[in-house]
Amino acid sequence: MTRRIAVLSVGVVLLVVFGVLGAAVPVPYVAQVPGPTFDTLGEIDGEPVIGVEGRERNDVDGQLTLTTVGVSRAGLSLVEAVQGWFDDEVSVVPEESVYPSDRTEEETREANRQAFLTSEEAAEAAALSTLDYPVKVVVRGLADDSPSEGRLEEGDAIESVDGRATPDAATLDAVLASIPGGSSVPVAYTRLGEPGTTTITTRAADQRAGSLLGVLIREQPSAPFDVDIRVEDVGGPSAGLMLALGILDLVGDTDLTGGAAVAGTGTIDAAGDVGPIGGVQLKMVAAREIGAELFLVPAGNCADALAAPQPGLPVARVATLDDALQALEDLRAGRTPESC
């Protein structure tokens, strides 16, 4: 009897010790949870998520909501990690996958923010291309101490330099290469649909002969209005699809939702191709919680969506922006969109 009591006592002590260690010792995992959602047709703190300058926004009903994944905490204990593995609304993933060891947390946040800004540009390009606006050389920003400061602005389409048309970036580079640095040249541009002309004294190029205007450029469709996206606390590229749809609903000719609440996720490129993302199951939980009537899921995430269906939340499989528009057309018409 004394020996049995001793064995039981040792067992209890070990259980207590392991329990304390399991609750206190951190493991290299983080818990991901459904993050905040943002209706691209709505507002944040009284400001529209998608602002439009140069024309009135369409008066639309319904919702086109982008979904996100949040990190509830890092440095989980063993007990918390095990609890998370058995919770359908929590995803326990290696810390390295969220916070790479070769970057600080601040560097990771900045990289995610830059990815979001890139997705903004791709979403705008895809939306405006769908609306058949012509591709032009558009000012993306101004370099430090730019000779174009006060003369050109972000969003301006550069039509010609020194009287020579500049329909694409390669032609613009060739024209500037033939102009000596320090030359004063006329530059024709289009701003919010209105033509304009200014004179810019160029700067000598450092790496080649010729001149610089001191502007950052991209080739994209140019519209007679400007789009400004205001979502400050979202990182990564997965909002691209929903941003493109939001732009189309606000400046296009079709009410895309017909008053329905639609949520979704997916990257997008300028050609309108939709790519897969991470955390789709958690984003579907967020969509269900806000009462979405349809969830747009990238084709590459169909297996993930089927593995964790949400009650009452139908999904539509989309590989392109056109697929998403077709799914919304089906929804408006009372048809069942193509699912996974």
The domains found in the chain, sorted by start residue, are 33-70+108-131+229-333 (3.30.230.10), 135-221 (2.30.42.10)
Inter-axis angle of helices 78-85 and 2-24, nearest 10: 80
Q: Is 70 exceeded by the pLDDT of residue 13?
A: no
Contact 59, 3 (CB under 8 A): no
pLDDT of residue 19: 43
- Other CB atoms within 10 Å distance of the CB of residue 136: 21
pLDDT of residue 33: 86
Mean residue pLDDT of the chain comes to 88
Q: Give the range among 75-89, 106-120, 140-154 with minimum mean pLDDT.
A: 75-89
pLDDT of residue 93: 67
Q: Is 60 exceeded by the pLDDT of residue 108?
A: yes
What are φ and ψ of residue 251, in 5° steps?
Answer: -125, -5
pLDDT of residue 9: 46
pTM for the predicted model, two decimal places: 0.84
Q: Is 70 exceeded by the pLDDT of residue 85?
A: no
Say which DSSP state 89 is in: T
Q: What torsion do the CA atoms of 98, 104, 107, 111 make, to the nearest 10 degrees?
A: -20
pLDDT in tens, 241-295: 999 999 999 999 999 999 999 999 999 999 999 999 999 999 999 999 999 999 9
**Residue 275: strand pairing partners:** 267
Greatest Cα pair distance, the chain, in angstroms, is 104
37 pLDDT tier (thresholds 50, 70, 90): very high
pLDDT of residue 10: 44
Q: Is 70 exceeded by the pLDDT of residue 6?
A: no
Mean pLDDT across the stretch 122-128? Answer: 97
Q: Is 90 exceeded by the pLDDT of residue 197?
A: yes
pLDDT of residue 231: 84
Distance CA 132, CA 195 (A): 19
pLDDT of residue 110: 84
Distance CA 308, CA 280 (A): 9
Q: What torsion do the CA atoms of 106, 107, 108, 114 make, to the nearest 10 degrees?
A: 110
